[in-house]
Amino acid sequence: MSDIKKVVLAYSGGLDTSVIVRWLQDTYNCEVVTFTADIGQGEEVEPARAKAEALGVKEIYIEDLREEFVRDYVFPMFRANTIYEGEYLLGTSIARPLIAKRLIDIANETGADAISHGATGKGNDQVRFELGAYALKPGVKVIAPWREWDLNSREKLLAYCDERNIPVEKKKGKSPYSMDANLLHISYEGINLEDPWAEAEEDMWRWSVSPEAAPDQPTYVELTYKKGDIVAIDGQDMKPHVVLETLNKLAGENGIGRLDIVENRYVGMKSRGCYETPGGTIMLRAHRAIESITLDREVAHLKDSIMPRYAEVIYNGYWWSPEREALQALIDQTQHYVNGTVRLKLYKGNVDVVGRKSDDSLFDEKIATFEEDQGAYDQKDAEGFIKLNALRLRIAAGKGRKL
């Protein structure tokens, strides 16, 4: 252990990571560098500085990564219409590659020997952090305290704090939900949610009103796209992170974005979690709408076919992998003509597409019309098309084959 002189820790300022600072100091007799990222979690990150200083930390990194997070991670993921297991919009998963990248950057800047994180040995995040770290710096040492120590309960963590005079807030009563938040979503796990039959309590949700409590009048919003990314809302140009902040507010006010699922973790277990992804829910629906008029049919179907694989790659922590980069190159190639505007109606938990237009639209009214098309489409051509496509079916049936 003596070869570890300096460690960069992903530090939130909460109970777990505050204990980890002191545990690293005591166990490895090393210097600790803390890194706190503002990725839109909705809480002040600057107080982490005072907490780290109180623990004797000399090198403290606190960074606003909101724009980079949405521009370089969230937007590329949404170009693929990405959902995991048919429902999950990957709010936690997509934040981990950025944090892993900055951990390695800071380790290089400070000459640290190792990085550390507060993810438990049961979850996906340990995999995501560490796969990213190893991809970016193959020889890096990773210290995961939850896989080494015996402080496996809140009570033991608090006792450790008492013994070593670690300043932390002590919440009385039962533990709160385990939550993780960033600009894309907030997640909830633990307590009654560990029973898949138990309904989530209404006062658990933080970012959205219930659909029942949403306004009785719909909200209309127009999103402008350029190469698959939203660049303006209601005609007003916005930076990527401001787009998501704005959509979160609009969607949350209209009861949009709640999700309650049981998912399959990469480590093998099933896990029940609740998520609020208000702006992301709008983004997914709107992006599919603009693609519906701008993408070629086979390109759209190809994207749909690779999306589950792309979602697994991100969920499992392989953002910094050659397969993700290859998939991303294909996805981004499809977005050159995904330009235009989508009009949406938000109402009591629903997102309805009520209009879409684009200068790059492949929708041809002359061909699609039910009225007189003046020869734009010869309906007689369909007969040969159908017979040719039925040829293999007719041959098999003629041989007496049964389905």
Annotation says 18 is catalytic = no
Same domain (yes/no): 233, 350: yes
Q: Comparing C-alpha atoms, which of 306, 332, 326 is closest to residue 229?
A: 332
Same domain (yes/no): 204, 153: no
Kindly list the distances between the CA atom of residue 169 and the CA atoms of 20, 22, 338, in Å, as whole numbers in the listed order: 15, 16, 49
Strand ranges inside 167-228, DSSP E: 178-181, 186-189, 219-226
Beta carbons within 10 angstroms of residue 349's beta carbon: 18
Same domain (yes/no): 135, 203: no
pLDDT value for 42: 85
List of the chain residues with pLDDT < 70: 1-2, 169-176
Within-domain flag for 345: yes
DSSP-derived 3-state class of residue 60: strand
- Residues 245-262: pLDDT tens digits? 999 999 999 999 999 999
Catalytically annotated residue among 22, 66, 96, 356: 96
How are beta strands 270-276 and 186-189 bridged, if at all?
antiparallel
Q: Give the span between the Cα atoms of 176 and 100, in whole angstroms.
A: 27
Same domain (yes/no): 47, 135: yes
CATH label of the domain that carries residue 44: 3.40.50.620
CA-CA-CA-CA torsion sign (45, 50, 53, 55): negative
Please report, to the nearest 10 degrees, the dihedral formed by the alpha carbons of residues 171, 175, 176, 178 taken in order.
Answer: 120
Catalytically annotated residue among 178, 292, 321, 361: 178
Within-domain flag for 289: yes
Which tokens is 242 given? Answer: 């401001």
Catalytically annotated residue among 125, 208, 272, 285: 125
Annotation says 237 is catalytic = no
Same domain (yes/no): 51, 97: yes
Annotation says 96 is catalytic = yes
pLDDT value for 167: 80
DSSP letters spanning 342-398: EEEEEETTEEEEEEEE-TT----HHHH-SS--TTSS-TTHHHHHHHHHHHHHHHHHH
Same domain (yes/no): 102, 235: no
Within-domain flag for 245: yes
Same domain (yes/no): 197, 346: yes
pLDDT value for 377: 87
Query: Looking at the 3D structure of the chain, how many domains does it have?
Result: 3
Annotation says 125 is catalytic = yes
Same domain (yes/no): 147, 53: yes
Do residues 280 and 93 touch, judged by C-beta distance below 8 A? no
Q: Where are the alpha helices (DSSP H) in 42-180?
A: 47-54, 66-69, 75-78, 96-110, 125-136, 154-164
CATH label of the domain that carries residue 213: 3.90.1260.10
Give bridge partners of residue 193 from the DSSP assignment.
none
Strand ranges inside 157-298, DSSP E: 178-181, 186-189, 219-226, 229-233, 236-237, 258-264, 270-276
> Residue 29's domain spans which residues?
6-65+90-164
